[in-house]
Structure 1
């Protein structure tokens, strides 16, 4: 079964989308494996404070995906996935497992992401410097890259709590 990789700025709504996708897949009778920082007991600030910690976090997430991808179910990777080289590695994991792959980019503007981060309880928000660092280094998915395709882009729909979906193609 497929690997669905969610990508987006910090606090863009990825986890909300992941839970909605998981519910839809489960309603269709599919097993869902959700891989994210909380499922691996990683603190968001500690996980992304410095290059060594961030590299270790990506390795743990990739390892979690490798353990479950290709089984009878859908694997959802809910993380920032902000580095295109890392998304390429995930695409290679799916190929090695002989399964399908798609990218879901949650395209929320940075001001909204920042406001959503500040609205979180103290223990659940990114520290300002970590948020700014991650946001500044974010590499947007591009459907022209095979590892970012097929690419589904979600945009928040003006305050209604809904989302608009777009499909990008080469």
Structure 2
């Protein structure tokens, strides 16, 4: 783990709020000169503390009206079967996030889809027929209470 000081945390918090900040604006927020801030930002990028910059798109404004969480249980628990399932997940653009779990389900998937028909197609035509999958259980999001990709930075 990289050693971070108060200035680094100020930079990281500011960039979490607005990744488009100019170096001059970021320096003012952090209380550093522009050159010091630039060097720190480059170090944070090189050390992979800052992994990327991207625009967050509004899913509903673009016609994606359904968010679903899908639990998957594999047919067999073998490295080859897990590899096949991971390959399947990587090919499906509707899947935003996927996690291997402990407990009853082997995987949890978050999918963003245009409508219920799209969810039905994913579950019935892609996931359930796949040879690595034994059981699929989906839950549809009724209301989003909180959404944040921000880490709870302190320091």
TM-score (norm 2): 0.27
Which of the pair has the greater relative contact order for Cα pairs under 8 Å at 6+ separation?
1
Q: Which has the larger radius of gyration?
A: 2
Give the structure with the higher percent helix.
1
